[in-house]
Amino acid sequence: MANITITVQSLLNTALYDSYTIDNGQTVAQLKTAINSARSFNSTWYDLVAGNILTESSTLASLGIVTGTQIRTHNKIARLATKEAKQTAKLALATLDRVASSETRTTLTINNLPTKYSGNTLVNNANSGGLVLGRPWS
């Protein structure tokens, strides 16, 4: 097969697209693996879309994806199984965004949040010393 260069919409900023060079014989799942490696994303957070949601077992060539193709991301964090999984994913994505934008506070301490989830149960998380500056970021 042949190498192609495509752009994929970033999960961090929907106005930005990241460039990837990949063999068009690779599957959508393999493209997602490349994206996850480059950006520290998790495959459960998004689908790839070019007109329709792309089937992960399909090859890029079979989908007609060629050099110059722009692929959108479809954020699916809201459809994760538990509120804890959603909260964790959103915070992980926020951490990546803070790092990418050179924010000085990028370390997340989930126990500094006033509330967090355990499964689907909301857990109050009072900080006995009072509010923590910048919580949950340090």
Instruction: Look at residue 33 and tell me if it is in a domain.
Output: yes
131 part of a folded domain: no
Q: For tokens 């500094």, what's the residue? A: 112
Predicted local confidence at residue 138, as pLDDT: 79
92-115: average pLDDT: 87
Q: Are the C-beta atoms of residues 93 and 11 closer than 8 Å to each other?
A: yes
Give residue 108's pLDDT: 85
16 and 71 part of one domain:
yes
Q: What is the torsional sign of CA 32, 66, 61, 51?
A: positive
pLDDT (average), residues 9-17? 88
Domain containing 31 — which CATH number? 3.10.20.90
**Residue 114 shares a structural domain with residue 69:** no
pLDDT value at 129 more than 80: no
Tally the domains of the chain: 2
Q: What range defines the domain where residue 96 resides?
A: 83-124
| Beta strand residue intervals within the chain, DSSP E | 3-9, 17-23, 46-50, 52-53, 70-75, 115-118, 121-124
Question: Which pLDDT tens digit goes with each residue over 31-75?
Answer: 999 999 999 999 999 999 999 999 999 999 999 999 999 999 999
